[in-house]
A and B are shown apart, each in its own frame.
Chain A
């Protein structure tokens, strides 16, 4: 089975996000990027599928600071081929990014045909979860999103589990090739000892691939007007007094709001 995983770097919210002087974008200088969490789950799901059904895992990631570490880590975990996509830079916007990645997938030598392209169902830069369906649309393949497991792959189809609210699960069959937006892998992404990553750095060659030109322009129909940091408000009320007094006030408050 030929599995392709698309991984992207997104802002790491452990670091403070700063707004650039234009008031419309994040300050790139202050940003530190990290691999999108659900993309990491997509990689894990691909590795699990490889272990179960055999095949090859290829990771494709647009260029970004620290992306090499992500690709070496993927190789250490078991990816067979890692490719950095040049010319698709952060800040391109979701639609153009998806368009550029899909075009690149078709152009990278010996990559397609693949059975599955897996990527995160969402990222903090793509809360609408558009990247995966847009890639599917461009490739002309079926798409399933919010995937939590791939239970079976045989005879040109895959059986895919999606999770709904309140623990309801849906089982879907999709013809291959297909694009999956992975919400969570069947197991948490594995740990790979740093020594293995260091060994992968020596043994692995990251392939560089120039994205097909022209790289799509960011959409002009929708533009960012302004970004703002959360405003600090002083609405938390501290209940003071003895345990009994605090408990009394708490009961009053809960009763007032109809919760008791």
Chain B
């Protein structure tokens, strides 16, 4: 299993479209053999005017301007599938696509309304929902276990738990937060949260092309981290995990970081005896793009699920590196209306059909976006009586109840 140490990657935050070919990762783009694996594996490849393969072709032809003036890349959900499948190892989702998307975003004649609202809200309130930043920690009162908030009690702490937006505000996300808090508590972890001082880590804004918003949020969060003493960060957000591992180091971020699910998997020996309640569920696990394809945490969530008495794990046709994105990444979370208007299939619906086909009654997830996306998809498809969506952490907490 992966350990806490962050993946070792060449930093690419200094790469621009202008200096692309001065950087090894930029030069690697030129080794593209135009095989089309990227476009073929892309969940929206068939609807894009410019799938990754064509973008590289346009780059070589000096015609990227045409890509900038198209909204084609708004359909990129930053799922890392093209990058995972590239036989040349071109880090598409990490390097070229964000640079191109930034230009696409700046050149959009009109920003889709739902997306605009989410971005404006994130800038103003630190969350895309437009909820008061002063209510970010309101869920803590219902946690059932004590949760230390650093602004109220700034003593040094071992684990800074970065809760993120979805799990702070969305009612189902708050369920996950309550479960997480109970698990941390049971494991005797010394943890605290930033409470109302926390703001969105910004990764989805970045991968959408709204890099200025990302920079603003990164600067803000870095300043808040500097106020407190802690040894490491554990975050519920898989996108926040990516931001902290791959982007925040640009601003001097040096803390060890883990996402909740792999973090808990490291405590499995301690956790196992506490999982006393039998859960007679057939569970299928959806690999999130960031945790799975991007960072290789395939076995940790499965190991946790298999440790729950009574749980039987079954696999979907597309699993691990082949998992299909829920459609929420790279700004997709706020583009459902836009995709719908274009007549695209919602990726969450495509994925849920696969989950149903396994015969499972629980769809287990570890990315905060997925609960609401898959629950909606189940309702839309009329499967909500057949299957429920649960975060791995929720299932662990359920198995811990007497």
Contact = CB atoms under 8 A, between A and B. Distances in A.
A198 B216 contact: yes
A191 B116 CA distance: 6
A194 interface: yes
Interface in A9-35: 14-16, 34
B105 A193 contact: yes
Counting chain B CB atoms within 10 Å of each CB, which of A15, A193, A197 scores highest? Answer: A193
Contacts of A188: 113, 116
A186 to B, nearest CB: 12
A77 to B, nearest CB: 12
Interface of B: 105-106, 110-111, 113, 116, 119-120, 123-125, 130-132, 134, 210-213, 215-216
Contact of B211 (A190, A191, A195, A197): A195
A196 B212 contact: yes
Contact of A198 (B105, B106, B119, B215): B215
Nearest to A30: B134
Contacts of B211: 195
Contacts of B110: 187, 190
B212 A194 contact: yes
Contacts of A190: 110-111
A191 B123 CA distance: 12
Contact of B216 (A14, A16, A194): A194
A14 B130 contact: yes
Nearest to B123: A194
Given A14-B125, A16-B132, A191-B116, 13 more contacts: A14-B131, A16-B134, A34-B124, A188-B113, A191-B119, A193-B105, A193-B210, A193-B212, A194-B216, A196-B106, A196-B212, A197-B212, A198-B215
B369 to A, nearest CB: 22
A162 B132 CA distance: 34
B321 to A, nearest CB: 33
B213 A191 contact: no
Contacts of B210: 193-194
Chain A, interface residues (CB within 8 Å), range = 10 to 19
B130 A194 contact: no
Contacts of B120: 191
Given A15-B132, A15-B134, A198-B215, A193 B123 contact: no
Interface in A178-193: 187-188, 190-191, 193
Nearest to B121: A14
Contacts of B116: 188, 191
Nearest to A194: B212
A197 B215 CA distance: 12
Contacts of B111: 190-191
Contacts of A193: 105-106, 210, 212-213
A-B complex: 4 closest residue pairs judged by Cβ atoms: A195-B212, A194-B212, A191-B111, A194-B213
A198 B123 CA distance: 12
B107 to A, nearest CB: 10
Residue of A15, A194, A196 with most chain B CB atoms under a 10 A cut-off: A194
23 contacts: A14-B131, A14-B132, A15-B132, A15-B134, A16-B134, A187-B110, A188-B113, A188-B116, A191-B111, A191-B116, A191-B120, A193-B212, A193-B213, A194-B123, A194-B210, A194-B212, A194-B213, A195-B106, A195-B211, A195-B215, A196-B106, A196-B212, A198-B216
A105 B110 CA distance: 32
A15 B131 CA distance: 8
B212 A198 contact: yes
A15 B130 CA distance: 10
Nearest to B113: A188
A14 B120 CA distance: 13
Contacts of A34: 124
A165 to B, nearest CB: 24
A210 to B, nearest CB: 29
A197 B132 CA distance: 23
A198 B216 CA distance: 9
Contacts of A15: 132, 134
A169 B81 CA distance: 51
Contacts of A195: 106, 211-212, 215
Contacts of B125: 14
A30 B136 CA distance: 16
A194 B215 contact: yes
A125 B134 CA distance: 23
Contacts of B113: 188
A50 B7 CA distance: 51
A18 to B, nearest CB: 11
A193 B211 CA distance: 8
B219 to A, nearest CB: 10
A194 B215 CA distance: 9
A34 to B, nearest CB: 8
A14 B105 CA distance: 28
Nearest to B116: A191
A198 B106 CA distance: 14
A197 B120 CA distance: 12
Contacts of A191: 111, 116, 119-120
A14 B169 CA distance: 14
A102 B327 CA distance: 51
B112 to A, nearest CB: 9
Nearest to A197: B212
Nearest to A187: B110
Contacts of A187: 110
A193 B215 CA distance: 12
Contacts of A198: 212, 215-216
A188 B124 CA distance: 18
Interface in A144-161: none
A193 B105 CA distance: 8
A110 to B, nearest CB: 32
Nearest to B124: A34
Residue from A187, A191, A197, A198 whose CB has the most chain B CB atoms within 10 Å:
A191
